[in-house]
Amino acid sequence: MSRIQQLFKQKQNNVLNIYCTAGYPTLNSTIEVMEALQANGADLIELGIPYSDPLADGPVIQESGGVALQNGMTIKILISQLQQMRKTIHVPVILMGYVNPVLQYGFEKFCKDVAAAGIDGLILPDVPMREFETEYGAITKKYGLDFIFLVTPETSEERIRKIDKLSTGFIYAVSSSSTTGKDKNFNDVEVYLERLKAMNLDNPLLVGFGIKDKATFQSACNYANGAIIGSAYIKALQQNNDVKQATKKFLEEVLQ
């Protein structure tokens, strides 16, 4: 059983996944940020690999990725930073990124290296489902990595059911078809989440995009196993140079 599966076995509700950008706010902040998240109540950490041409990231996460790239962050440097991760980080850690830099690094080499460093799962939103089935899925399985797919309000029931069969770890329920960090009308979102909940999927559900505070976190948790916060946390880091202080304050406000 993977760390992610163990987490959902132990905690079925109010699971908090926080997104942070590797190499932000400084090149060597990665582990410090992760330690602060773990210390203040994050159940799961989604570590973003910065990319120059992100597809789903809103302006806040894009900007943090740009800073991280200027800081010199690369996949190679990130993997070297993660070598010591499991000495202090005990919560599950997922890498979120886009497939192009991973292919440049070498897909199998990437899976082998990140698994050896203690990474638990991958979110690569632009990997086509067919290619995952025919090529990449066997590689992620070989290295014991969970692979998380995204669904949106536009995803058909047939496709959601197929994603449920292919996914391990959890399913990432994108709250709407816009980028991260946008404010959402949660009434519309609730209709969609009700539909997902009624499908009785095998995988746990985490809701992301537009989750930013205690109210939106709790609303999402009414319909899913938990939620993912990204842009709001990056904003908190932008506004306070002290990573530990910023993280403590932010998570206290979400979880109080």
Query: Which residues are known to be catalytic?
Result: 46, 57
Q: What is the pLDDT of residues 123-164, one digit of tens each?
A: 999 999 999 999 999 999 999 999 999 999 999 999 999 999
Q: What would the pLDDT profile of 28-79 be if each residue is shown by its tens digit?
A: 999 999 999 999 999 999 999 998 875 666 789 999 999 999 999 999 999 9
Q: Please report how the helices 214-221 and 186-198 are oriented relative to each other, as an axis angle in degrees rounded to 10.
A: 30
What pLDDT is stored for residue 57 in this prediction?
67
Fold of 3-255: TIM Barrel (3.20.20)
pLDDT of residue 52: 82
pLDDT tens per residue, range 158-214: 999 999 999 999 999 998 765 454 555 666 788 899 999 999 999 999 999 989 999
Give the strand order in the sheet containing 15-21: 146-147, 121-123, 93-96, 44-48, 15-21, 226-229, 205-208, 171-174, 150-151
**Domain chopping of the chain, boundaries:** 3-255
Mean pLDDT taken over the chain: 93
